[in-house]
Amino acid sequence: MASNEEILAGLAEIVNEETGLAPEAVELDKSFTDDLDIDSISMMTIVVNAEEKFGVRIPDEEVKNLKTVGDAVDYIAKAQA
Amino acid sequence: MTTPAMLQSPLREHSRILGLGAYRPDVIVTNDDVCQWIESSDEWIRQRTGIVTRHRAKADVSVIDMAEGAAREALKQAGIEASQLGAVIVSTVTHPYATPSAAAALADRLGATPAPAFDISAACAGYCYGIAQGDALVRSGTAEYVLVVGAEKLSDFIDNTERSMSFLLGDGAGAVVIGPSDIPGISPSVWGSDGSKWDVIGMSRSLLDVRSLSLDAEAAGSLAAVAGEFGDSEQKLWPTMRQDGPSVFRWAVWEMAKTAKRALEAAGLQPEDLAAFVPHQANMRIIDEMVKQLKLPESVVVARDIAEAGNTSAASIPLATHRLLQENPQLSGGLALQIGFGAGLVFGAQVIVLP
């Protein structure tokens, strides 16, 4: 099981791979759409890669609730617990 | 009771695609045109979808007209007379009559009467569904030659001001003739459905809704008085295509990559055996991501007709194959993996020998 810091680092790596954004730009309070300019399609790619990396399931209807990087980290941490 | 002996159709071992035809309507709709209707930009649409233009048919060009154009070219290439056809199958979701079928009219126009003729409703998987049926009819001995057409006039079922889907869609038709073959020409079809996702792509309302809304509007004296109950974005009465894009994207890429792999396995092939990959032309990003998931080698030519044609539902795979062969005639005789997926949800995939 990964700590929140590890989840954040892993997520930053996935975001970097999908969008080219520097991993250090992926911070907990950043909004995926407003701050990181990630569209709904890229978001799905990130979600699927995160599912694989962290061994969790993030249903489509949950994705809409993951507004910030912190939301995603919390969701993955909870799903792993 | 003893059963008297009767005859069943003698089986054939192999079938293949003998000829291919395409019809592309002549109105070109650019991204700048689209931006008159929705707030967007050419760059945004290219980046997000890979679409540069889409072809749309004029008001007086029907699904049947486009199907006929494509079918005549396919018959010519196959060297088959329409009178030799043992079945005519049209896959469409935009023929504007629930009955009679587009296929019966098409068969008559081509001179294929009295060939059995029917439409199938499998949206963007419709062409692959048609190939599965054409292959089965030929090999079961039920028919010698089968015409399979994917024809769509999606422009009759879009709302240009709607953002989820309308700007992706185009019109067109593609057709093939399937017939007996000395070599395996169509691999086992991997096809199916998932009706639990019935509501993620499709028409915004049923014809019954249209009827009751029309009656209400008549009573109220205006359409605006009743259409509002469907929300601001669906002010218009007519049913038009809608989708939940992100959900569709996820299903299309990761579930359909698995389906495509199963189709390769069913054919007994490896990715490097393929000459071409022709996925349904839904969105360039779906195509790119699928190619990545399938780990296709560089040698496999990937059809990307979507840039010019947009998403034409059941017509997209034969149209994309047609362009592929025009631009790369050396691919003829090679193997192409094709996969269709869409509203239903439904999916179908098989490997074919390119005509």
Report the alpha-carbon distance of residue B294 to residue B315 in Å, rounded. Answer: 23
- Considering only alpha carbons, which residue of chain A is nearest residue B44? A39
Q: Cα–Cα–Cα angle for B215, B216, B219, nearest 5°?
A: 90
CATH of B15-180, one of 3.40.50.620, 3.40.50.300, 3.40.47.10, 3.40.30.10: 3.40.47.10
pLDDT of residue B232: 45
User: What mean pLDDT comes out for the span A40-55?
Assistant: 90
> Where in the sequence is the domain holding A54, given as residue range(s)?
4-80
**B250 and A47 in contact by Cβ < 8 A?**
yes
Q: Are B332 and B143 in contact (CB under 8 A)?
A: no
Q: What is the mean pLDDT of residues B188-202?
A: 95
How many CA atoms does the CB half-sphere of B82 hold within 13 Å? 16
CATH number at residue A24: 1.10.1200.10
pLDDT tens for B222-238 read: 666 666 555 444 457 78
Residue type, B296: L
Q: Active-site residue among B55, B280, B283, B322?
A: B280
Cα separation, B264 vs B337, whole angstroms: 7
Q: How far apart are CA B170 and CA B54, in angstroms?
A: 5
Fold agreement between B15-180 and B190-199+242-353: yes
Tokens 């070109």 -> residue:
B28
At B195, is the pLDDT very low, low, confident or very high (cuts 50, 70, 90)? Answer: very high
Number of domains observed in the structure of chain A: 1
For residue B354, give both structure tokens. Answer: 């390119």
Active-site residue flag, B283: no
Query: Hey, are the CB atoms on B48 and A47 less than 8 Å from each other?
Result: no
Q: Which residue of B has its CA nearest to A39?
A: B48
Residue spans of beta strands (DSSP E) within B36-94: 53-56, 85-91
**Dihedral, CA atoms, B135, B349, B343, B90, nearest 10 degrees?**
-20
As a whole number, mean pLDDT of residues B331-351 equals 97
Please compute the mean of the pLDDT values over residues A15-39 and round it to a whole number: 89
Structural domain spans, chain B: 15-180, 190-199+242-353, 206-239
Q: Mean pLDDT in chain A?
A: 89
**CATH number given to B190-199+242-353:** 3.40.47.10
The percentage of chain B sitting over the pLDDT mark of 70, rounded to a whole number, equals: 96
Per-residue pLDDT at B91: 98
Tell me if A44 and B250 make a contact (CB, 8 A cut-off).
yes
pLDDT given for residue B223 in this prediction: 66
The residue with greater pLDDT, B209 or B139, is B139
pLDDT of residue B64: 98
Q: Which uninterrupted H or E stretch holds B173?
A: strand B171-180
Residue in B31, B55, B95, B124 annotated catalytic: B124
**Which among A28, A20, A74 has a CA at the least distance from the CA of A46?**
A20
With beta carbons under 8 A apart, name residues in chain A contacting B253: 44-45, 48
B19-31 average pLDDT score? 96
Range with the lowest mean pLDDT among A61-75, B6-20, B235-249, B321-335?
Answer: B235-249
